[in-house]
Chain A
Amino acid sequence: MADKRLHFGWFMNFTANEWNTPFGNDGNPWNGKFYIEMAQAMEKACFDYIMIENTLMVAEAYGGNSEVYLKYATMAPKHDPAPLAAIMAAATSKMGVVATMSTTFYPPFLLARLASTLDSIAEGRFGWNIVTSGEDGSAQNFGMDKLTEHDLRYDIADEYVDLVCQLWNSWEEGAVIRDQETNTYADFKKVHAIHFAGKYFKSRGPLNTVRSPQGQPTFVQAGGSPKGRQFAAKYADSIIAVANGVEGMKAYRDDVRARAAAQGRNPDDIKVLFVVSPVLGTTEAEAWARKKAAAEDPAFFEQSLASISSVTDIDFSQFELDEPLPELETNGERGSLDKFAQWGSGKTLRQLVLDAGGTSDSIELVGTPDQVADKIGEAMAEVGGDGFLISTQRVSKQYITEICDGLFPALQRKGLARTEYAHAHLRDTLREF
């Protein structure tokens, strides 16, 4: 029987967990425990990785102040993902742990060293989600007036990744010899300065950490725009993708695979995971009722619009809910805007919000665990691969349990999800099938 297994990840943020609903927890996850337990539940279900998203500001895009963002705690507080990744890695042993760090705001040497340290702690399971950041608000926290222009950010990121890769490779394999005879810990002939002098960055090197188990962390990327896709196709081991429906998913995947092949990479080395937010129930009717209830929540529209405002720096509070959107452009997340706006569809803003489902949902997955597992299998059979990233606006124990103890057993029974890990390192886990 053909191997139908897919790859799965979870796209989450270090934000407040669900707190003001019947099955909410305490909204106080800041000591990390809630998310560590989430990672452990996911490892039992054999996810490939957990990915912690990040932004570096309190948004004010919607309505010109931070009220809505802080009221719902959708985008802030949002804590630093790197420390959380460290304790998640220490609390698990097989699953990948991926933290988001921005090429715009981390000095390259600092990032290279942090990622190397984390990969050693995670014993080869650390991934870096490469982002260029999309908000002027973040830039202003770092002393700039506004962000560098979108396409230029990717040119800078390109040089950035080149530099950090050189730093990771500044220690050859086998540089640590621990030779008791000569009392030599590391052989200096196998550790090299890099003398990097690019257009945007300069660094002498070498790194002062050992070569990490994976050599360099697994790369995750979420390029939506042409420039972003080209970047992802060049570097990513796994891509976070949002697309509209099966056709959109197939078109996106075919495009990045073609771009990868054109750059001399084996497209199978890139696992494209599409973002979905399954809504599950014991019966199909119950699942649909939950979906409907969520969309009828008065807070839902406001939160959805605040969210898209934040990543695009466009104030969506200015648009009429029952009219189509005007033409819009962003220097922020272009892929997210295009996905949300469905240009040319003629849909009203209200309809767009309902379509988006409060998240970036690539296909609608509503039903019993068995039904959703079947839909996942059918969609992937058409798209060709490679898997999905679970994402939900706010996480509760209840939702984690429904996914890990409901959906995953169903997927595993159908041969659509792994039942065990075969490799120790994240990159190898992604390349297993």
Chain B
Amino acid sequence: MTDMFHLGWFLNFVADEWNGNWGDGGRDFTGDFYVEMAKDLERAKFDYVLIEDKLMVSTAYGGTMEHDLKHGVNPKHDPVPLAVLMAAATTRLGVVPTMSTSFYPPFLLARLCSTIDHIARGRFGWNVVTSGEDRSAQNFGMDKLYEHDERYAMASEYLEVVSKLWESWEPDAIERDYMTGTYANYKKVHTIDFEGKYYKSRGPLNTAPSPQYRPTIAQAGASPPGRELAAQHADTIVAPANGVEAMKAYRDDIHARMKANGRDPAHCKLLYLVTPIVADTHEEALAKQERWFNDPLYIEYMLAEISSITEIDFAQFDLDEPVPPDVSTNGERGALESFLARGKGKTLRQIVTGSGLSGNVPFVGTPAEVADEMGAVMDEVGGDGYLITSPVMRLNRRYVTEITDGLVPELQKRGLVRSEYTTTMLRDHLREF
């Protein structure tokens, strides 16, 4: 029998669907749409919602901002305040915004995480990224990003300093002793006097120790240094779903690296990024996929998106030729690999239209069919679950409902996902099974 697996959702704080049949969104950025969605996810007993982030408007596709803005790749708002609103509107769902080690001063980030973990009562996670775009670096006064591997060396030291800051208050430092009028015992609060190669911080942090003590750590390492960082620190990984074999190999590699770092592999849950398409009948689901992926707007949108995260101008390639084999990036290497892995020898059009955003493991059918397939794939891979994201990047309530009220109940019936929360903190949800 297949073990239970975990569910998360991967989204961006961008305009919700505004120009399709089932959405009139993108009118404001109050966060209301996504806060409602978080409540839906909690009703469906998801472990967490992860909010991706970027710090630039891209000009990679075609050399101008036109396509980025036309398709609403941007505006993309700060995920942190949204995570706070989601946490305040829910009681069990984990909230995991993305923050970049390249752009947040460590003390600021450590403090922000601690503050939000209190507000979320122990349901806060930090998705650790190093950022992959020179354009972002230029918004922060640099000419370009640090080289890929150096970024990971910096991120590793960064995690060391913020961990020390979180640990600068002993768990029982707050005494609230009425007799002596003592709130916190200064003997249990320590400076860290950290001096590394890249970062320096005296400490201590000036927040109370948070419910999880250190936030849950999410990471999406695909390259070797990225995997190593994830293996050292991550409680959960945003993993590419590049086919059952690759998924299994990736998981084995992470587990081996965790063991080498003295960690129990059960302490990191790999959630594979997938884009299920469900409908009342199998034919309808296939038709939906066909309609979505072959929309000329979708093709342009997808190419603008992949250009943005890799800073490679995909407008330069012929849609009906294979992508040249020598493309490489200093940006998100994993994203590029996943994209290209969809079809060696296939044309660019075929790659985009054939399987959607991360559809190397396509789940298309009725809720019951897709639930069976998801169970079968997990059975082969060995664990630990899926991160669902919209196949067309854009979200509307209809898609959310099809997952939360269609697919998830089928998964629950099969005993594949949780039907109840038994714990209150995010790390405990992840370690429950």
A and B held together in a complex: yes
A-to-B contact residues, CB < 8 Å: 14, 16, 19-20, 27-28, 30-32, 55-58, 65-67, 69-73, 75-80, 82-84, 86-87, 90, 105-107, 109-110, 113-114, 116-118, 120-121, 123, 137, 140-143, 171, 175-176, 178, 180, 182-188, 191, 201-206, 208-210, 299
CB distance from B317 to the nearest CB of A (A): 22
> A70 and B199: CB pair below 8 A?
no
Whose C-beta in chain A lies nearest to the C-beta of B139? A109
B-to-A contact residues, CB < 8 Å: 13, 15, 18-19, 26-31, 54-57, 64-66, 68-72, 74-78, 80-82, 84-85, 88, 103-105, 107-108, 111-112, 114-116, 118-119, 121, 135, 138-141, 173-174, 176, 178, 180-186, 189, 199-208, 210, 297
Q: Which 4 A-B pairs have the closest CB atoms?
A: A73-B183, A185-B72, A30-B118, A143-B200
Number of A-B contacts (CB under 8 A): 230
Query: Contacts of B186 on A, CB cut-off 8 Å?
Result: 65-67, 69-71
- 25 A-B residue pairs with CB within 8 Å: A19-B183, A72-B181, A75-B206, A84-B119, A86-B81, A87-B85, A87-B119, A107-B104, A109-B139, A110-B140, A113-B77, A113-B78, A117-B77, A117-B81, A118-B78, A121-B29, A121-B81, A123-B30, A137-B202, A178-B26, A184-B69, A204-B138, A206-B65, A208-B76, A210-B75
Query: Contacts of B111 on A, CB cut-off 8 Å?
Result: 56, 79-80
CB distance from A175 to the nearest CB of B (A): 8
> A191 and B65: CB pair below 8 A?
yes
Cα–Cα, bound, A5→B65 (Å): 48
Chain B binding site: helix, strand, loop or mixed by DSSP? loop
Cα–Cα, bound, A173→B235 (Å): 43
Query: Contacts of B189 on A, CB cut-off 8 Å?
Result: 58, 66, 70
Cα–Cα, bound, A57→B168 (Å): 12
> B138 and A203: CB pair below 8 A?
yes
> A206 and B103: CB pair below 8 A?
no
Q: A27-B183, A32-B119 are in contact. Are A203 and B81 (CB under 8 A)?
A: no
Known: A80-B114, A183-B19. 6 other contacts (CB 8 A): A58-B206, A120-B77, A123-B28, A140-B202, A185-B26, A185-B70
Query: Contacts of A83 on B, CB cut-off 8 Å?
Result: 80-81, 84, 112, 115-116, 119
Query: Contacts of B114 on A, CB cut-off 8 Å?
Result: 79-80
Cα–Cα, bound, A30→B19 (Å): 41
> B19 and A180: CB pair below 8 A?
yes
Contact of B206 among A57, A65, A87 (CB under 8 A): A57
Cα–Cα, bound, A7→B149 (Å): 54
Cα–Cα, bound, A184→B116 (Å): 35
> A185 and B69: CB pair below 8 A?
yes
Cα–Cα, bound, A32→B210 (Å): 13
Contact of A141 among B55, B182, B202 (CB under 8 A): B202
CB distance from A253 to the nearest CB of B (A): 33
> B201 and A142: CB pair below 8 A?
yes
> B183 and A70: CB pair below 8 A?
yes
Query: Contacts of A82 on B, CB cut-off 8 Å?
Result: 80-81, 112
CB distance from A133 to the nearest CB of B (A): 12
Query: Contacts of A109 on B, CB cut-off 8 Å?
Result: 55, 103, 139-140
Whose C-beta in chain B lies nearest to the C-beta of A101? B108
> B107 and A141: CB pair below 8 A?
yes
Query: Contacts of A186 on B, CB cut-off 8 Å?
Result: 69-70, 72, 74-75
Cα–Cα, bound, A180→B72 (Å): 13
Select the residue from B65, B78, B107, B114 with max chain A CB neighbours within 10 A: B78
Query: Contacts of B184 on A, CB cut-off 8 Å?
Result: 70-71, 73, 76-77
> A78 and B66: CB pair below 8 A?
no
